[in-house]
């Protein structure tokens, strides 16, 4: 059973940036239920289908499959809910762990979050100096919520 155990944090500063390292992500949803979602994503030049089912705020079942790029593009444009979510992802290694830093674009511009995948919910890790407050338990930061409630509309952003 493929489990994703992930913690999410806001990012402060630019210490995570790596010139030329960001990959553009464009994603849309076929289903956006808080307990389960099905999304189509283009990661650079790669198409992906992703299915997630929540178990807790940190742990979810996750299934991911490759899609031909032209089919992923067609699904995004003609089948997925609109609007789509667009972000640039940079992978940064810190103390043997890979952090995925997502810088959101469009209506979510200004939002930068970092995620780390863990082997269990209590696994210890070394926080990088650019790591801010944890938002793992705040549903506003879930991609499925950012579509209907973009960061630019938050009063406390």
Query: pLDDT by residue (tens digit) across 20-65?
Result: 889 999 999 999 887 889 999 999 999 999 999 976 778 889 999 9
Q: Does the model's pTM come out above 0.75?
A: yes
Determine whether 29 is an active site residue: yes
The whole-number average pLDDT for the span 120-147 is 94
Of 29, 63, 65, 141, which residue is the catalytic one?
A: 29
Average model confidence (pLDDT) across the chain: 93
**Which residues, in sequence order, are bridge partners of residue 104?**
87
- Confidence label for 149 from pLDDT (cuts 50, 70 and 90): very high
What pLDDT is recorded for position 147? 93
- Confidence label for 157 from pLDDT (cuts 50, 70 and 90): low
In the DSSP assignment, the letter for residue 141 is G
pLDDT at 18 over 90: no
- CA–CA distance from 51 to each of 14, 26, 88, 96, 117 (Å)? 32, 16, 21, 27, 17
pLDDT top residue among 156 and 64: 64
Closest listed residue to residue 72, CA positions, set 26, 7, 110, 141: 26
């Amino acid at each position: 059973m493929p489990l994703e155990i992930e913690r999410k944090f806001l990012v402060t500063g630019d210490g995570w940036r790596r010139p030329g390292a960001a990959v553009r992500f464009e994603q849309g949803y076929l289903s956006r239920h808080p307990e389960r979602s099905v999304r189509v994503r283009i990661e650079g030049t790669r198409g992906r289908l992703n299915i997630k089912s929540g178990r807790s705020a940190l742990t979810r079942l996750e299934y991911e499959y490759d899609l031909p790029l032209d089919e992923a593009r067609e699904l995004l444009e003609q089948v997925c809910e609109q609007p789509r979510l667009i972000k640039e992802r940079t992978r940064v290694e810190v103390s043997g762990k890979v952090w995925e830093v997502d810088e959101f674009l469009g209506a979510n511009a200004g939002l930068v979050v970092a995620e780390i995948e863990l082997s269990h919910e209590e696994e210890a890790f070394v926080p990088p100096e650019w790591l801010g407050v944890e938002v793992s338990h705040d549903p506003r930061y879930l991609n499925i919520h950012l579509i209907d409630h973009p960061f630019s509309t938050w009063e406390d952003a």
